[in-house]
Structure formats: structure tokens, C-alpha cells
Structure 1
Amino acid sequence: MSQKVNFKNSNNADITMSAILFLPEGFDESQKYPAVVVTHPGGGVKEQTASTYAAKIAEGGIIAVAYDASYQGESTGEPRQLENPYIRVEDISAVVDYLSSLPYVDAEKIGAVGICAGAGYTANAAINDHRIKAVAGISTVNIGAMYRNGWDGSVKDADALPLLMMGADARAKEAQGNDGGKLPFAPETRESAPSPEMEEAWEYYRTPRAMCATSPGYLPSRSLTQLVTYNAYNFAEAFLVQPLQIIVGSESGSRWMSEDLYQRAASTDKNLHIVNGANHMQLYDIPQYVEETASVVVPFFQKNL
């Protein structure tokens, strides 16, 4: 059972968040339930892989909420499609605020899971906000590291300086009332994909496989001034102490970012599950890989919430 909900963002009263609340079978509003915040990838929206996993979590007897980030999807805010990682992290705490206000949610049993960049944001939120009692990441991406070091981690930090300059130039243009430009989150054509894995990103976001009208798949170039220097795992060695479950495909080019979080997290209860044969995108929606991922994630939250 699911229902659309809207609520004011507690970090910015000018923004209304749009979300889908997934309720367990036999839901009784007079009871108290654990709950999980599900955060979508960069460029994604709540109706895509976030809802796929939210539904699985609800089947496990836990309330789950998939939501659109501020400035994105059906949530409000200008400029549209802004990808400010600090706001994305605060959005997760705002959803925790919302869940804590619901009479049928046990505020002491709230967890969080994210997919791709949403998983990196989830880790960052858990570092900051210890109302989050358990953390899971699916195909985890530290989006700052991705922009600095590339999809496979082969680029040196300093070589990302042109991206910072691009972001600054975009902001300068916008300050003068001009268009600062935009960048695609996923390749816009199959031919422009630099690798088979990125070709699958094109397919997921740009074809009927998962394309969604509220997910145009770009970010304003101005976002680069926050993204390039951002570190989703900042202070993980000290403060990411909650139980942690990471799931990543064995063939994922982004696997190194999942392993980095696993190694750095201070948690004494952490696990890295490798889905053999799967790449990054296949954990989003390919049934056999979703089932395997859910078979790890759902019991993890059942145990730790």
C-alpha cells in the first residue's frame, strides 16, 4: 500500500517535499512502526529505483518513504534540478523530521538507504544525524569523488580544477541574468556513452526502461562549485558508527567507492555484500539483482530497527 504525501521541508519552509509513503500490509495507524528513508540517485526521482526498494522494505513490515530531492522531481524549489550535495544531505534529515512527526512511526527506529549518489548522501546524513539508527547503501557513489576522480577513480584531484572553473563561470553568467548552462547526469544518446556501463545509464534514464517525465536528467552547471569539493564520507572514520550494510555489483565501475566507505566507516557492525555478475545500474531494476539486494537490505533493517 502506498500513498503520495507532501510536507514542508523543515530546513527551508519555502520548499514543499513530494514523497511516496509505502505502508506494510495490514498497516494499523494505532501501532508504532520502524521507518526507512529511501534516497534516489543523482538525476533520479522517487518513482524509479527508490520506489522499487521502498516497496520491498514495506513488504518486510517497515514503513518506507521515497521522496524527490529539493529542486527536483515533484518537490518545489528554484533553480530547477539544482544538485547541491549539502542540501541533498539536509533533505534526508528533513524527511526524518517528517517521519518523526507521524504518530505511527517509532522515532527511535528510523533508518536510511540510498542508491548511487543517494547512498553517499545517506552516509553523510548518518554521520551528521544520529537519529538515523541504521544505514544501507546500494551501488554507493561519493558524488564529489566521482567528479574529482572519475567513475573509476583514475583521475587526480587537481585535474578536476577545470570543473570548478566551469561552475564558477556558470554562476557568473547567471548573476548577469544569462544562462549558465547545464550538464547531463546520464549520456543523452547511446553513441555518446563512454562505456557499456554508461550506455546502460543512458538506457535507464533515457528510454522506457525507467524514464520519467519529472526526471530530465541534467544538472545546472553551477552545481559544480559544490559538487567537486564535496566529500560524502567526511568524518566517517569518527562518526559513522551506526550499523552499515553496503551492496555493490562485482562488475561495477563505481565499486571502489563502496569499498572506500566500508573501509572508512567507524561502525563495528558493517558488511559489504558483493552481487556477483552485476554492474552499477543493474542493481536499480533488474529483477534477479533487486531480489538479491532486497534479501540483504530488508533483514538488515529488520534486525537493526
Structure 2
Amino acid sequence: MRTDVTFPSSGLALAGILFTPDEPGPHPLPAIVVSHPGGGVKEQSPTTYGERLARAGFAVLAFDAARQGASEGEPRGEEDPFQRAEDVRAAVSHLTTRPEIDPERIGALGICASGGYVPYAAQTDRRIKAVATVSAADFGRVIREGVDGTQPPEVLDAVLARAGELRTAEARGEPPHREPWVPDEWRDSAHRQDRETWEFYRTARGAHPRAGGTRLPRDLDRIALYDSFALIRLLAPRPLLMIAGSAADTAHLSREAVAAATGPAELRTVDSATHVDLYDRDEHVTTAVAELTRFFTAHLAAAG
């Protein structure tokens, strides 16, 4: 069953979808918050995972981040890691108010950039009892070092200089400068992930009218300060599951985060899958959902 919901985060109304089993077992239900990739919306990969996890017996809340998708807030498309983490906490708060949900059995799942935001929020939100990620990316580290960690230092220098120039321009009355999350037309890139991202957001495969719009490059100076996993030890003793494709350019981020965790942490690799394959490719999503179901059943559904 699917129910549209709204809930507040920092004074803004966030739009969400609550998925529940068509034939739920005894109430109250264990629940999972699902947060979308950067530039994405709840109707894409969060719905793909949400529908399947609901069939496995969980209530699942997918939602649009503040200032994105169908949620409130200006300027549109702003990507603020700290607000994104607050949105995750707000989604947990909403679930605790619902009579069909057991507030002691709430987990969280982050996909892509939210694979960084969700663990970051959970480090200090002890209401989140189990944490999982799919194709996790630490957006701050990606800005600082590049997807594969080989970005020359002068690239970040240029990004930060431009962010400052754009902030100065706004202070002088110019409208915020915007750039597309994903170009409308394919442009050659040395990174396979760039092409895959374009294919997902700009073709019938995954396109959605509210996804992959414009972003504010002046946000990059704030994002560069953010570190998803610097305090990952605070998750302990709560469990962590990170799922990555064996062919994903971002897989090293999950490996390193699991290695740094001090509590129970596991890495599951999906053979032959790339970063974006795990958004929607059925054969790879099926594998990932099986791992997620196992993990959340062990750590939420059986809890007292």
C-alpha cells in the first residue's frame, strides 16, 4: 500500500511516500527511512527499493529532500549535506508519530550521496537502530578528491574560488547562478559513471520531471567541508551494511567506511554491478534487496 505524506524539516514541508505491506502482519511495524541520491527524487530508486522492502514486511518512508523534488524550500535544487542529514532525522521523527510504526524498530537506507548522509545523520541519532547504504558516496570527499580519489588539488582550488565569486555576485543582487545536475545531451567524459548517470536521468530508463534539474555551484564550498564517515565510530554498537557494485567507481568509499567502523559492519559486493546499476537494474537490485531484507530482518523485525 502507498500513502502520500508530508512532514516538517527545519520549518519546511517535505513530501514523502509511505509504503506498507499489502497484507501487514501484527502491528506495529518495523520501518525504514530511504533517502535519495543527489539530484534524484523519491519516485526513482527510493521507490524501487521501498516497494520491494514493503513486500518483505517493512514500512518504508521515501521522501524528497528540502528544496528538492516535491518538497518545500528555496532556492530550488540547493544541496546542503547538513540539511540533508536533518531531513533524515525529520523522517525518523515522522515515523515515531505514526501508530502503525514501532518507534524502537526504525532503520535507515541511503543511496548514492544519501549513502553518506544517512550514516552521518545516524551517528548521533540513536533512534536509528540499523544503517544500510547502496552505492554510497561521500559527497564532500568526491568534491575534494574526485570520484576515484585522483583529482589534482588545483581542481578543488578552482571550485572554491568560483564558489566565492558566485556568492559575491549574489550579494550584489545577481540571481543565483545555476547549472544542470546532468546535461540534457551527452558530453564525452573520461568517467564511465558520468555516462551512466546521464543515461539514468536523461533517458526513459530513469527520467523524472522533478529529477536531475539544476544545482547551485556556490554550494560546493559548503559541501567540501562535509565528511560522511569521519565519526563513523559513533554508529557502534548499531549495525552497518554497505552494498556496492564490484564494478562501481565509488566502491572504495564503502570498503574504507566499513574498515573504519568500530561496531558490527559488513560490506556486500554485487558482482558486475556499477554504481548506477544498483539504482534500478533488476538483476542487481534483486540481489541488493535480498541483502537488505536479511539485514533489516535481523536487526529490526526481530527486535523487542
Shorter-chain TM-score bucket reads: over 0.9
Q: How does 1:1-305 map to 2 (within 5 A)?
A: 1-9=1-9, 12-13=10-11, 15-27=12-24, 31-155=27-151, 159-267=155-263, 269-305=264-300
Instruction: Give the partner amino acid of 1:25.
Output: D
Aligned AA for 1:23? Answer: T
Matched residue type, 2:43: E
Letter of the 2:47 counterpart? S
In structure 2, C-alpha distance between the alignment counterparts of 1:247 and 1:3, rounded to whole Å:
28
* Count of matched residue positions in the alignment of Structure 1 and Structure 2: 300
Structure-2 separation of matches of 1:25 and 1:193 = 44
The separation in 1 between residues aligned to 2:151 and 2:83, in whole angstroms, is 26
Q: C-alpha offsets along residues 207-255 of structure 1, whole Å, 9 cap, x if unaligned? A: 1111111114331112112111210112113445311111101111111
User: Does the 8 A contact of 2:2 with 2:18 survive in 1?
Assistant: yes
Q: CA deviation at 1:54?
A: 0.9
Cα drift, residue 260 of structure 1: 1.6
CA distance in structure 2 between the partners assigned to 1:238 and 1:127 by the alignment: 5
SS in 1 for 2:44: helix
Please state how far the C-alpha of 1:191 moved relative to its aligned partner.
2.4
Question: What is the TM-score normalised by the length of structure 1?
Answer: 0.94
CA contact under 8 A between 1:110 and 1:132: conserved in structure 2?
Answer: yes
Provide the C-alpha distance between the structure 2 equivalents of 1:240 and 1:264, rounded to a whole number of angstroms: 11
TM-score by length of 2: 0.94
Paired amino acid for 1:75: S
* One-letter identity of the residue aligned with 1:7: F
Q: CA RMSD in A?
A: 1.6
Which ranges in structure 2 are unaligned for 5 or more consecutive residues? none
Q: State, as a whole percentage, how many aligned pairs show the same letter.
A: 35
1:16–1:76 Cα contact (<8 Å) kept: yes
* Runs of 4+ off more than 2 Å: 155-159, 182-189, 191-197, 237-241
- Whether the 8 Å contact between 1:193 and 1:202 is mirrored in structure 2 is no
Q: Show CA shifts across 1:185-218 (max 9, x none).
A: 3344222443332111101011111111111433
Residue identity matched to 2:22: E
CA distance in 2 between counterparts of 1:216 and 1:201 reads 10
- Cα 1:229–1:156 change in 2 (3 A) is farther
Instruction: Provide, for residues 251-302 of structure 1, a one-character-per-residue CA deviation record: whole Å limited to 9, x for no partner.
Output: 11111111121111121x2110111111100011010000000010111111
Amino acid at match of 2:40: G
Residue 57 of structure 1 and its aligned partner are, at CA, apart by: 1.1
String of CA shifts for 1:127-148, please: whole Å, max 9, x gaps.
1211100000100000000111
Letter in structure 1 aligned against 2:21: P
CA distance in 2, matches of 1:157, 1:51: 37
Unaligned 5+ runs, structure 1: none
Distance 2:163 2:27 in 1: 49
CA distance in 2, matches of 1:258, 1:23: 29
